[in-house]
């Protein structure tokens, strides 16, 4: 089955990342790189999103003009920061891949097609 893991950053996590020294931050990025390498046989795609302040949202209203706003579609303390698409047997395997994710603290797992 195909699943998408959505990586979700919290405000707290973003602050911690900012507060890190260069060495620490390098180590954190390395851990992420290792995770991608270790799961390379399952990951079919992945995308890292630019920070949320770059987001633009468009709401489409049929025939009338779309409404364009600055910012993400929901304002909140938790924002999606990236995606990985994986191909595994079932939800338990998807959960296992997600469990070893070394970075941001929330991962949503959703079946995809």
Partner 1 sequence: MNDPVPHEVLARVVREHAGRLAASLVSLLGDFSAAEDLVQDAIEVALQRWPVEGVPDRPDAWLFTVARRRGLDVLRRESNYRAKLAQLQWPVPPRPDERLRLIFTCCHPALSRSAQIALTLRVVCGLSTAQIAAGFVVPETTVAQRITRAKKKIAEAGIPYRVPTPEDLPGRLREVLAVIYLLFNEGYLSSTAERAQGRDLVDDAEWLATLLAGLAPDEPEVSGLLALIRLHRARGAARFDTGGRLILLPDQDRSLWDRDAIQAASTLLIRTGRRHHRPGPYQVQAAIVACHAEAQRWEDTDWAQIAVLYDMLLYLAPSPVTRLHRAIALQYVKGPEAALAELMDLVDVLKHYPLLHAAHAELLRTLGRPQEAREADERALELTANPAQQALLEERLSWT
Interacting residues toward partner 1 by CB under 8 A: 1, 3, 89-92, 94-96, 110-111
| Residue nearer to partner 1 on the CB measure, 78 or 87 | 87
Query: Which among 47, 42, 36 is positioned nearest to 3, based on CA atoms?
Result: 42
Using alpha carbons, list the distances in angstroms from residue 72 to 62, 77, 79, 82, 96: 21, 11, 8, 14, 29
CB of 55 vs partner 1, minimal distance in Å: 28
CB of 39 vs partner 1, minimal distance in Å: 16
| Residue nearer to partner 1 on the CB measure, 44 or 56 | 44
Supply the DSSP symbol for 52: G
């Amino acid at each position: 089955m195909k699943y998408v893991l959505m990586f979700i950053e919290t405000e707290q996590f973003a602050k911690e990342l900012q507060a890190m020294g260069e060495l620490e931050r390098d180590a954190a990025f390395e851990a992420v790189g290792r995770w991608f390498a270790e799961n390379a046989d399952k990951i079919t795609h992945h995308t890292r999103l630019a920070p949320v302040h770059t987001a633009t949202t468009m709401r489409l209203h049929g025939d009338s003009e779309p409404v364009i706003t600055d910012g993400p579609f929901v304002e909140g303390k938790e924002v999606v920061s990236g995606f990985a698409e994986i191909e595994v047997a079932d939800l338990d395997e998807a959960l296992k891949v997600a469990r070893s994710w070394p970075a941001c603290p929330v991962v949503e797992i959703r079946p995809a097609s």
